[in-house]
Chains A and B, each alone.
Chain A
Amino acid sequence: MDNFSALIDGFATVLHPMYLLYALFGVFIGTAVGVLPGIGPAMAIALLLPLTYTLEPTAAIILFAGIYYGGMYGGSTTSILLNTPGESASIVTAIEGNKMARAGRGAAALATAAIGSFVAGSLATVALTFLAPVIARWAVQLGEPDYFALMVVAFVTVGALLGSSVPRGIAALALGLFLGLVGTDTLTGQQRFTFGVLNLADGIDVVIVAVGLFAVGEALYVGSRMRHGPVRIIPVEKGWRTWMKRDDWRRSWKPWLRGAAIGFPVGTIPAGGADVATFLSYAAERRLAGPRRKQFGRGAIEGVAGPEAANNAASSGVLVPLLTLGLPTTATAAIIIVAFQSYGIQPGPLLLQSESALVWALIASLYIGNLMLVVLNLPLVGMWVKVLRIPRHYLYAGILLFGALGSYALNFSPVDVLLLALIGLAGFFMRRYGYPVAPLVVGMILGPMAEDRLRRSLAISQGDLTYLVSSPFAATAYVAIVVLLVVGLWLKRRERAEEA
């Protein structure tokens, strides 16, 4: 039961008023960026990274965990109340939630999304609490070639599945790998692709790339074809009595639980992240709906409750490989790795031992954050709606401003902001021509790690390539790539068929 006492210690840390304040601040920012179109949790964390160097690690990690979770809640508000879908994970919610809101049942849709997220998020956090130590203990035995195999799995699945086109995903991934190469080679001290520029010898900062792609690229892209005119929001009826009726509760609790059961495992494996989980849950609910199946597509509450629960459970699941293997499976997870690294902490199997207090504080803050979110979200819906009404020209001007601030604050050198503009332009072209940006960020962060593992493996085996597949785990991982790809692509195809 030493894990249990460690968790209690974690709670003791988080319940400290100062940290509670950071958690509250985090979920607040997170919900706001989740609600606002055009910004996601990945971008919010990337932006805040340079601004939080003065904070101590625990405070910063609690803050980021809050943003991570808050973003997931906020997205559902947007997709239910706005006519157009929010962040990709909640697109399925938009189908049913939006229809419910138009039928005057917006409050019930918001309530089932928020309460379902809370239920599933809490269950998934419990699962994380028990699963993470087990996996970490097992992962300690993994060797260099095993890690290299895991990273190859992440590369292939992220490149092929985090976008609509496989070759474009791979191209984005390769671009990210290239950006990761720029700088000084860690093993031999040789400069690579620095073009003789002194600033590049330390490599390109991931924060600039992430902010440039997510923030500046998005602002430029939206600017190039902005939806003019006022923002149309579906009005919500006031008063908590309209939230959920007895019948809504009866129809929601099973989808919540099923969503949690689907979302968490899908989140833990690198198979395309929360998108896949929400879609699987939606398909399951529709199949199980029985006589109510006709309502799907016209505002069925099950179609909001299940996917929203799955979405939140998946985002907890993503933390399992992140905390135990140091393996990011989504763009946001990759940014969280950068956050850890900026404090000199390398996520991996030893994290639970070396930074045990920090990790358990993080997990405890997930429980607290979930609770804060469900309390915060429902009564404050009116405020989030106001946030949603921010005129778009001010919103995107503000995004540009904070992006410039974040990259300037890295080294206080204007050159970084110029680089930001350049990468932002690249991000614009990627969006314009359908290249996903998430694989680029993941490739850039994982690339140097993978190269390190590969070269160390081959140094141990003295150049024998068969060593890479000689361990049973590594061999299994390479077989798993094929399986994950086939299943993942099949699911994508189903999803598109469903939407059409």
Chain B
Amino acid sequence: MLALATTALGAYVLVAAGSITVPGSTNTLGPRAFPYLVGGMLVAAGVVLTVLILSGRAGEEEGGEDVDPTVRTDWLTVVLLVVTLVVHVFAINVVGWPFAAALLFAGAAVILGARPWWRAALVGLVLGLVIQVIFGGLLGLSLPAGPLLEGVPFLRG
């Protein structure tokens, strides 16, 4: 599937490279040449991989210390984690960074199997506030503290 996506992207790059405007002043190699090269590489790699996969040689999955090679892929966890990340993004400007961070941490931890949920939430809240104090307050990163903590001076970025 990824092989097909690679081929498709390569084909797109090849087509789109033709529509890059070339100013009259470029005499030799313009802004189109390198994209053509890259597009060609993508298509070539994609085609080779498609053939390999169709002939039964699928890729080796990456191993890791925390990866159990015997279980099947748990797609639900992946989807939930991405959703949590997206919720975090939209929460930043509404409730402020520390609380959005707590949401992300607690959400991800519970999805990955942290029990009981309130302990994960507590850890997340503490972590969010500590990061806000260190990076926002001490290192001067402008993390928005959010409406709830607006007045607290040492949290301001």
Contact = CB atoms under 8 A, between A and B. Distances in A.
A433 B61 contact: yes
A417 B34 CA distance: 29
Contacts of B21: 190
Interface in B83-110: 84-86, 88-90, 92-93, 97, 101, 104-110
30 contacts: A38-B65, A54-B140, A82-B65, A164-B59, A165-B59, A167-B52, A168-B49, A171-B46, A173-B41, A174-B42, A187-B31, A188-B26, A190-B23, A192-B31, A193-B35, A225-B73, A226-B77, A394-B114, A396-B112, A400-B84, A400-B104, A401-B108, A412-B144, A417-B88, A425-B82, A431-B62, A432-B61, A458-B28, A458-B29, A463-B28
B85 A421 contact: yes
Nearest to A418: B89
B44 to A, nearest CB: 8
A397 B114 contact: yes
B16 to A, nearest CB: 6
A433 B128 CA distance: 34
B41 A223 contact: no
Nearest to A228: B113
A177 to B, nearest CB: 5
A404 interface: yes
Nearest to B35: A181
Interface string A165-200: 101101101110110010001011110110000000
Contacts of B101: 401, 404-405
B72 A225 contact: yes
Interface SS majority for chain B: helix
Interface stretch (A120-128, A214-222, A338-346): A214-222
Contacts of A394: 109, 114, 120, 123
A362 B87 CA distance: 41
Interface residues of B, number: 88
B135 A412 contact: no
Given A54-B140, A398-B127, A223 B74 contact: yes
Contacts of B42: 171, 174-175, 178
A269 interface: no
7 nearest A-B pairs in the assembled complex, by CB-CB distance:
A434-B59, A37-B65, A393-B112, A397-B108, A171-B45, A397-B109, A174-B41
Contacts of B110: 393
A299 interface: no
A455 B73 contact: no
B66 A227 contact: yes
Nearest to B21: A190
Nearest to A415: B89
B16 A193 contact: yes
Given A171-B49, A400-B81, A227 B67 contact: yes
B85 A391 contact: no
A424 interface: yes
Nearest to B71: A225
B46 to A, nearest CB: 7
Contacts of B89: 404, 414, 417-418, 421
Interface residues of A, number: 77
Nearest to B86: A421
A137 to B, nearest CB: 31
Interface string A384-410: 000000011110111011001100110
Given A397-B120, A429-B2, A216 B85 contact: yes
Contacts of B106: 397
A192 B143 CA distance: 32
A433 B85 contact: no
Given A54-B141, A225-B68, A414 B45 contact: no
Given A190-B22, A393-B109, A409-B141, A404 B104 contact: yes
Contacts of A228: 68, 113
Given A85-B63, A224-B78, A459-B29, 10 more contacts: A38-B65, A187-B26, A219-B108, A393-B120, A394-B109, A398-B127, A400-B104, A433-B59, A447-B38, A455-B34
Nearest to A461: B28
Nearest to B28: A463
B143 to A, nearest CB: 7
Interface in A244-298: none
A84 interface: yes
A40 B143 CA distance: 26
Contact of B31 (A173, A188, A223, A412): A188
B9 interface: yes
A428 interface: yes
B110 to A, nearest CB: 8
A190 to B, nearest CB: 5
A78 interface: yes
A378 interface: no
A428 B10 CA distance: 20
Given A51-B135, A459-B28, A221 B112 contact: no
